[in-house]
Amino acid sequence: MKLIIEHLKKNFGSKEVLKDIDFEFEEGKIYGLLGRNGAGKTTFFNCLNEDIEVDDGTFYLEEKTTRPIVSEDIGYVLSTPNVPEFLTGREFLKFFIDINASRIEQPKSLDEYFDFMKIDVEDRDKLLKDYSHGMKNKMQMLVHIIANPKILLLDEPLTSFDVVVAEEMKQMLKGLKKGHIIIFSTHIMELALDLCDEIVILNKGVLEKIEKKNLDNEHFKNRIIEALKEE
């Protein structure tokens, strides 16, 4: 499976944010999308998720044949979690599973899902408004994992976690990459190098893959820094 992007463009007024992007993302890999603040990483995700309309270009999935992307293909974990704060964690999870029952293969019990995401028993029946930012982020990530989309877009998802939880989340994502395309947006180079199989720079409105082949770790970091300086 591949996510293929052809001639994708997005402008805001006279500002060209995405400029004629051509790129292919492959199944089974975590891609680190690096770029300076304001480079257009979130805009790129919003285009793929069809939250905003592109000015030109197209993107589609290539499996046995090519086909347009539908909403069920994409899970989008926002940097600022968006959860219904008037529900408890358990109510939210039950509601999500109930309305998506036809999509969920081999559903587990609610507590098994909470256990998987390491959400403490005493927090499961609290209102989501009383959850910390990191716990809300966990819930947001959990429902997307349950939905099992082919493409998972992660916009700075680990910044709200402490060191221990962030490491748990990294290991979980590594375990999920088989059968999926995961694109992980961050401005933290060390995080991308530790987690991701491929590094992609959003630079001057285009995507550039930074090849690690034949580069030692220090040269690879320097190549990334030079690409980001060009922004």
Q: Give the pLDDT score at 170.
A: 86
Domain boundaries, the chain: 2-229
Which positions ≥6 away from 112 have C-beta within 8 Å?
A: none
Q: Is the pLDDT of residue 125 over 90?
A: yes
Q: What integer best gives the mean pLDDT of the chain?
A: 88
For residue 126, the SS3 value is coil
Task: Give one word for 40, left, alpha or beta, with left for phi > 0 and alpha for psi -120 to 50.
Answer: left
For residues 193 and 184, what is the distance between their CA atoms, to the nearest angstrom?
A: 11
Q: Give the pLDDT score at 86.
A: 96
Q: What is the pTM of this model?
A: 0.88
Instruction: Tell me the pLDDT tens digit for each residue of 23-33.
Output: 999 999 999 99
Helical segments of the chain, H only? 41-48, 89-99, 110-116, 133-147, 163-176, 189-195, 217-229
CA distances from 49 to 23, 61, 200 (A): 16, 13, 19
For residues 155 and 150, what is the distance between their CA atoms, to the nearest angstrom?
A: 16
For residues 51 and 114, what is the distance between their CA atoms, to the nearest angstrom?
A: 29
Instruction: Tell me the pLDDT tens digit for each residue of 154-192.
Output: 998 776 677 777 788 888 888 889 999 999 998 777 888
| CATH number of the domain located at residue range(s) 2-229 in this protein | 3.40.50.300
Instruction: Tell me the pLDDT tens digit for each residue of 130-155.
Output: 999 889 989 998 999 899 999 999 99
Q: Rg (Cα) of the chain, in Å, rounded?
A: 18
